[in-house]
Amino acid sequence: MTEKLRLLHVHAHPDDESSKGAASTAKYVAEGVDVMVATCTGGERGSILNPAMDRPDVLENISEIRRQEMDRAREILGIRQEWLGWIDSGFPEGDPLPPLPDGCFAALKVEDAAAPLVKLIREFRPQVVTTYDENGGYPHPDHVMCHQITVAAFEAAGDPDAYPGLGEPWQPLKLYYHHTFHRERTKALHDEMLRRGLESPYEERLKDWKPDPENERRITTRVPCAEYFALRDQALLAHATQIDPEGPWFACPLDVHQAAWPTEDYELARSVIEPVLPENDLFAGLR
């Protein structure tokens, strides 16, 4: 391809762009790729996960604070970012689960919720789009809906009969799912910690986490990006309401991450071009 490469990440909440794929994002930005993040919701119903930020003034202004955090992460990663404008659904808990709040993102019809994303795809014209798999990466209703609208928008954006009035059709060429937190990677980090004589934070998690070869086989694309892990961590820390510097995100040292698992991993879910698998580049076949 001779035109500029463009990459669109579609995420459910502010902070997801920094916890999933941020190092490969930074790598592509450094290579001159134009990277955009579409954030579906404002994260208004997210819990405050950093004890240092669990204060009344933060709770009262959580929407604005999470936008400010997103601005800082955007600057660190060197990306563009757009809000799709939907309202955070929150993470329902209880048995039985409570109904979703009226008007929230996950309660919308997929075709309605996908409309602003179709418009953004037609305006930004990415060759590559990423999002979560059908399980949302984890079963947060906003993550599942994010998957659904991204698949719908990927299919509809190039169709001149779909969503008339939302711009000239544009067909992205490849759609990927993030596979950040899989067992193979966690086991490698655990083993490297033990090899260095360090206490592993993953021991309890791995006890009941049985190998799932079928899920591991879904990974088609491993992007080498260890040199950008430190930048990823800076972007994570920008989301101070969500990330505790003393918490589990940073229980494993940076150099262990770089040595044990130097890639970020994806699944090629849709491709308009004929792929050659496995890949080490989201733009494989397009450069």
CB 221 within 8 A of CB 278: yes
- 143 known member of a binding site: yes
DSSP string, the chain: --SPPEEEEEESSTTHHHHSSHHHHHHHHHTT-EEEEEEEE--TT-----GGG-SHHHHHTHHHHHHHHHHHHHHHHT-EEEEEEEPP-----SSSPPPPPTT-GGGS-HHHHTHHHHHHHHHH--SEEEE--TT-SS--HHHHHHHHHHHHHHHHTT-TTSSTTS-S----SEEEEE--S-HHHHHHHHHHHHHTTPPPTTHHHHHT----HHHHHT--EEEE-GGGHHHHHHHHHH-TTT--TTSGGGSS-HHHHHHH--EEEEEEEEESSPP-SSBS-TTTTT-
- 239 known member of a binding site: no
- 11 known member of a binding site: no
Q: Which residues belong to the annotated binding site?
A: 13, 16, 143
Annotated binding site for Zn(2+): 13, 16, 143
